[in-house]
Chains A and B, each alone.
Chain A
Amino acid sequence: DTAVSQTPKYLVTQMGNDKSIKCEQNLGHDTMYWYKQDSKKFLKIMFSYNNKELIINETVPNRFSPKSPDKAHLNLHINSLELGDSAVYFCASSPRTGGLNTEAFFGQGTRLTVV
Chain B
Amino acid sequence: KQEVTQIPAALSVPEGENLVLNCSFTDSAIYNLQWFRQDPGKGLTSLLLIQSSQREQTSGRLNASLDKSSGRSTLYIAASQPGDSATYLCAVPPGGYNKLIFGAGTRLAVHP
Residue positions of A touching B, CB distance < 8 A = 31, 33, 35, 40-45, 48, 50, 55-56, 58, 90, 92, 97-109, 111
Taking a contact as CB atoms under 8 Å apart, the answer to whether A48 and B43 are in contact is no
Q: Is B25 an interface residue (CB 8 A)?
A: no
Q: How far is the CA of A56 from the CA of B105 in the complex (A)?
A: 24
- Please determine whether A109 and B31 come into contact, CB atoms closer than 8 angstroms: no
Partner of B31, one of A41, A48, A102: A102
Task: Evaluate contact between A104 and B46: CB separation under 8 angstroms.
Answer: yes
B108 at the interface (CB under 8 A from A): no
Residues of A with C-beta under 8 A to B42: 108-109
Residues of B in contact with A (beta carbons under 8 Å apart): 31-32, 34, 36, 41-46, 49, 51-52, 87, 89, 91, 93, 95-102, 104-105
A-B contact count (CB 8 A): 68
Q: 8 nearest interchain CB pairs? A: A98-B97, A106-B44, A45-B99, A108-B43, A43-B102, A103-B49, A98-B96, A48-B98
Chain B residues with CB under 8 A of A90: 43-44
Alpha-carbon separation in the docked complex, A107 to B45 (Å) = 9
Complex CA gap A31/B96 in Å reads 13
Q: Is the CB of B32 within 8 A of A100?
A: yes
Query: Which residues of B have CB within 8 Å of A58?
Result: 99
8 contacts between A and B (CB under 8 A): A42-B104, A56-B99, A100-B51, A103-B34, A103-B49, A104-B34, A106-B43, A111-B41
Query: Does the CB pair B98–A55 fall under 8 Å?
Result: yes
Contacts of A105 in B (CB 8 A): 46
Query: A109–B43 contact, CB under 8 A?
Result: yes
